[in-house]
Structure formats: structure tokens, C-alpha cells
Amino acid sequence: MKEKLDSAIFYTLNIRTFASFFEQIYSMITEFAKRFAISTLIILGGVNLVAAQTESHGEVDDHTHDTLDAGHNSLDDGEHGDFVAKDFIIPHIADANEIHFFGDHHNGFSLPLPMIFYVEGKGFDLFMSSEFHGSHATLTATGPNTGTVYVKHPDTGITSKGGESFYDISITKSVFGMMFIMTLLVIMLRSMAKSYSKRPGQAPKGLTNVLEPLVLFVRNDIAVPIIGKHKADKFLPFLLTTFFFIVASNLLGLIPFIGGFNITGTIGVTVVLAFAVFFISTVNGNRTYWGHLFWPPGVPNLVKLLVVPIEVFGMFLKPTVLMIRLTANMTAGHIIILSFVSLVFIFNQNYGEVAGYGMGVFSTLFMIFMYFLELLVAFLQAYVFTLLAAIYFADATQEAHH
């Protein structure tokens, strides 16, 4: 009897602690969901700005086009006989104007994406990338609004025939992927936040079960131990947003046959992420942070001459390294997997069919291994990015201790 009573008391106690526990998480998650939308908008806006920076000048005259065409044709002829790993790998990791599923350009299957151009003084052009057509490598399309003729060439990118300068703000593969991820994350995390109000005090169910450990991981293993219990909540929305965004885009890049998204491997995306980290840590920098930067305490004056420039340089270097680490890691992962694919063709071409088949078995095994490693890296890089961002925020809001 007593045991039963005990267990009943224990049970109610447990329920109560659980309820308060979930209340805490619930308020945290609703807050996160609110700020999440704003942060994603900022990130997306920034990414589009960076995309817009790649302004194209249509100053390539027809003569250069002809020579470039000739050069590419000879390259094309070579491709039929020779397998060039570079020409196979680079288009896969680069950004594109369509989502490529399978096959080559002429008899493959790919999903066109909208092209948006702004021609100075003339206005906007909006058409699908399937409008581009032509023979050989050079493809042309006419803008429906401004009448500008756009020329697309693998070597020069997109230029205009008449020499007008324009801004390319097309929805490319990466931008499309990011929009997809953001919609997915908003839906998933909103439904997760709602489930806490719908089922108060109960164990999580379904999707919440998957996401809650990740949210708690970012909070309890990254934000709180590094930034401190009181200040962590201020930075948590950003840390959670970047963590989920990076994890989701890394995982999207690992799904085969859907175009090989390389979102976090695109430098424009990580530039914005790193700039956000830099901006937040600079804005939140307190007296101690700037003091340590420009007048480090306990350092002899002469040494300060040496230390201060290094420290100031380091302030800009930190986000740069953050940016390069993520880009290089994700791009390297894609290149390794694609290199194993290329090895099959290289062996087939250079050492005969038997070697090709043998290499096929070998590479498939290695590719599976690399895929599992990349799954780990997808989470690891998101963890490292969030961890380092948290460390920089903790640096900026440090308390004087000496």
C-alpha cells in the first residue's frame, strides 16, 4: 500500500516537474518561432542582396563570343571521347538556373526556375529558364518586357547581346532551395510550438519528438554553457535559426537525384550567415569587449602596438574563417562523392571495361561510406558554426574578471 502511495506521489511530483519543464520549453519555443520568421526574412533578404551583387556587364562583343564558341566546341568534341572530371564535377557543385534531375542538356529532365533581370532604365524581365534555347553551348532568350537579348554561355555566364548592363536577381537553385527549407522549417517548427500548447504537460509526440532534442541540444549544450544562463536567451533565437537552417540545407544537399543542392557550399550564403554573426557580436559588444580589443589590460604599452592590430584584424578574421570553413567543408564533401563517381568513368576509359566495373563496386562502397560521413559532417558543421557563433557572442558580452 505504502509503496503504491509512494509511487503515486512520485508520479504526481514527476508530472508537476514535467509540466513546469514543458512550460519553460513552450515559452522558449514560441519566442523562438516568433523571431525565427524575422531572422529568416533577414537572411533571405541578405542572400538576395548578395546575389544581386553579381552584376553582369554585357560588354563582351560578338567577336569574343565567336572565339569562345569555337573554344567550347572543341571542348565539346573532346568530351565525347574523353571524360574530364572537372567538367563533370564543377557544374554539380555550382549554382544553376534550373534544378537538374537526370540526363544531359538535350535529353535529360530538369525543372526550370524563374529568371528575373533588372535592366537599368528599362525595368524588369521575368521569364522561365526554359526560354533559353539555341544550338551548341550558347543559349539565348529575349526578355518579354524590355526586349533585351540575354546570352548564356558556360564560360562567361549570362550577358546581354546589346551591351546593356543589368542586375541578375533570378531565383537560382540555391535560392529556391533556401526558400523551400525556410517554408519547411517554419511549418515544422510552428506545428512543434503549437503542439506544446495543445498538449500541455504531456510527452511530445510525432515531429516534436524529433525536433525537441535538437532545440534542447542547442540550448543546453551550446548556448547556456558558453554564453551563460541569463544572457543565453537573448542569442538563442539566432543560434537556433542558424543551426536549423544549416542542418536542413546540408541534408537537402545530400539527397541524391534532386539536383544536388549545394546551399551551404555557396559562398554567398555563408557570407550572409557570417556577417550576421559579426553584426550581432559587434552590436552587442560591451565595454569589456572593446577594452580588451583596443586596450588590452596587463599588456606592456610597447607590446600593445603589436597586439592591438592583430586583435582588430582578428575581429574581422573570425567571421571570415567561419564563412570559409562551412563553404569549404560542404563543397569538399560534394567533390569527394562526385570524384568517386568520376573514378568509375576514368578507369573505364583508361584501363578498360573490366577495370571500370571493378572500380564501380569499389567506388560505390566508398560512396556509401562517404555518405554516412557526410551525414555526420552535416550535423557537425552546423554544430561547429553555432558553437563558434556562441563563443563570439560570449566574447562580446563577457564580464570583467580581474
CB of 179 to other proteins, least distance (A): 27
CA distance 262 to 374: 13
Burial (0-12, 13-18, 19+ Cβ within 10 Å), 105: exposed
Residue 94 or 179 having the CB closest to other proteins: 94
Q: Does 13 bind other proteins (CB under 8 A)?
A: no
| Closest alpha carbon to 181 in 49, 40, 45 | 40
Residue 58 or 333 having the CB closest to other proteins: 333
Segment interacting with other proteins, rule: CB under 8 A, options 48-56, 99-107, 191-199, 318-326: 318-326
- Residues touching other proteins: how many (CB under 8 A)? 16
Q: Using DSSP, state whether 148 is helix, strand or coil.
A: coil
Q: Does 187 bind other proteins (CB under 8 A)?
A: no
Q: Which residues contact 23 (CB under 8 A, 6 or more apart)?
A: 200
CB of 328 to other proteins, least distance (A): 4
CB of 94 to other proteins, least distance (A): 10
Among the listed residues 221, 352, 357, 364, the single contact to other proteins using CB under 8 A: 221
Q: Does 325 bind other proteins (CB under 8 A)?
A: yes
**In the stretch 84-103, what mask flags binding to other proteins with x, by CB under 8 A?**
--x---x-------------
CB of 243 to other proteins, least distance (A): 15
Among the listed residues 332, 336, 355, 373, the single contact to other proteins using CB under 8 A: 332
- CA angle 184-185-191, nearest 5°? 95
Segment interacting with other proteins, rule: CB under 8 A, options 100-108, 177-185, 320-328, 362-370: 320-328
CA distance 136 to 154: 11
* CB-based contact 87:77 (threshold 8 Å): no
Q: Contacts with other proteins in 355-394 (CB under 8 A)?
A: 380, 383-384, 387-388
- Indicate left, alpha or beta for 45 from its phi (over 0: left) and psi (-120 to 50: alpha): alpha
CA distance 255 to 332: 16
CB of 196 to other proteins, least distance (A): 27
CA distance 113 to 346: 33
Q: Does 324 bind other proteins (CB under 8 A)?
A: yes
Residue 128 or 370 having the CB closest to other proteins: 370
Q: Alpha helix (H) ranges present in 134-206?
A: 173-198
Question: What DSSP string runs through 342-389?
Answer: HHHHHHHHHH-HHHHHHHHHHHHHHHHHHHHHHHHHHHHHHHHHHHHH
Q: Does 321 bind other proteins (CB under 8 A)?
A: yes
Segment interacting with other proteins, rule: CB under 8 A, options 66-74, 157-165, 287-295, 327-335: 327-335
Q: Contacts with other proteins in 32-71 (CB under 8 A)?
A: none
Interacting residue ranges for other proteins, rule: CB under 8 A? 86, 90, 221, 321, 324-325, 327-329, 331-332, 380, 383-384, 387-388
